[in-house]
Copies of this chain bind each other. A is one copy, B any other.
Amino acid sequence: MTTEEQVLERIARARGRKARLKDERVTLAHGAGGRATANLVEALFLDAFRNPALEALGDGALLDLGSQRLAVTTDSFVVSPLFFPGGSIGDLAVNGTVNDLAACGSRPLALTAGFVLEEGLPIADLERIVRDMAAAAERAGVPVVTGDTKVVERGKGDGCFVNTTGIGLVRPGVSLSIAGARPGDQVLVSGPIGDHGTTVMVARGELDLAADVRSDTAALGSMVEGLLDATAAVRALRDPTRGGLATVLNEIAVASSVSVLLDERTIPVRPGVAGCCELLGIDPLYVACEGRMVVVVGPEGCEAALGALRAHPLGREAAVVGEISPDPPGLVLLKTAFGGSRIVDMMVGDPLPRIC
């Protein structure tokens, strides 16, 4: 196909495609957050559970209680190893869910914690994970109100899996949606991308790679509060975890029927992360962050948004990285540092399994 044909085919898919599952067995790619995950969700889960809250496909669901709106989000964490520079599965499990609540424009009310433990896990490891969760919850200002523990036989699990579900109260008047991006809107990230995914890959020790990298895992609730206080022009928030910045922007492009034009030179990537990614042959655009937020904001609010992000300790390196354009809808395009331009597609396969 010519590039033009590819673009047209992509648009057709983005607009009207009916997802089909061709696989006969679950593969790692189904959990990677890229195209295979999207297909699984659309072909299987959406079809079975069809309801308006689920179909919005945000980072969480919104429940209208009359006088108040609740945000609800759930995430299972299977990161390997359980501990890595900058954090642990315990930090991730709290911060990841708190950030999904923040991306819905909500303040966290309560978290739940569900553990699936493998027989033989050292109690000291579990204790460390639980302490990390408690400390992260304390920092985020949210109580863990209920929990559950199951144990599976040795060889039927991998140490510790944690599910957290978060309930938040949506700020009055705030309505964020990945379908809300409009031409002219600016795209910001709150800091350098790819730190978390790179750190976990290096921590696994399989790559004979030493690098000065550290997970960015952090709870972004107070940063997002400051952002939403600073401007009413925020259209969409999303934390770029599995699948990275590229996947989040593709989801926004498709949901809003717009294109996202990125400028490679403005995307913050730490030298250590860039170096590791080059050695591994991985594009940092697809590498997970666990303490960053992608912000789509109307042009009138861009400066205020950038100022608010940079005023927060977790957003000091925030940057404008792109712009929303009307055409071609459903596509993310990257202007490279060399002056060229390429399509940034959704992630295919799973270059970085079990990073969260």
Residues in A lying within 8 Å of B, measured CB to CB: 21, 23-32, 37, 40-41, 44-45, 48-49, 51, 53-54, 60-61, 63, 65, 67-68, 70, 72-78, 80, 109-110, 112-124, 126-127, 130-131, 133-134, 137, 143-153, 155-158, 161, 163, 165, 167, 169, 350, 353-354
- For the complex of A and B, the 10 pairs showing the least CB-CB separation, nearest first, are A31-B151, A61-B145, A165-B165, A74-B112, A163-B163, A53-B145, A48-B134, A156-B158, A61-B146, A76-B114
Residues on B with beta carbons closer than 8 Å to the beta carbon of A118 = 26
16 contacts across the A-B interface (CB closer than 8 A): A24-B123, A24-B124, A26-B122, A27-B151, A31-B150, A31-B151, A48-B130, A49-B133, A53-B145, A54-B144, A65-B65, A74-B113, A74-B114, A76-B148, A77-B150, A163-B165
How far apart sit A48 and B127, CA to CA, in the bound complex (Å)? Answer: 9
Taking the nearest CB of chain B, how far is it from the CB of A52, in angstroms? 9
Closest B-chain residue to A65, C-beta based? B68
**CA A67 to CA B49, docked complex, whole Å:** 30
Q: A70 to chain B: which residues have CB within 8 Å?
A: 70, 167
Residue of B nearest to A112 (CB): B74
Q: Please report the C-alpha to C-alpha distance between residue A77 and residue B25 in the assembled complex, in whole angstroms.
A: 21
- Which listed residue, B26, B114, B116, B155, touches A120 by the CB 8 Å rule? B26
Tell me if A150 and B116 are in contact (CB < 8 A).
no
What is the CA–CA distance of A150 and B143 in the complex, to the nearest angstrom?
25
B30 pairs with A112, CB closer than 8 A = no
Contact partners of A115 in chain B: CB under 8 A: 76
Would you call A109 and B37 a contact (CB within 8 A)?
A: no
Docked-complex contact A110 and B48, CB < 8 angstroms = no
Question: Which residues on B sit within 8 Å (CB–CB) of A63?
Answer: 109-110, 145, 167
Which chain B positions have C-beta within 8 A of A158? Answer: 152, 156-157
* Closest B residue by C-beta to A67: B67
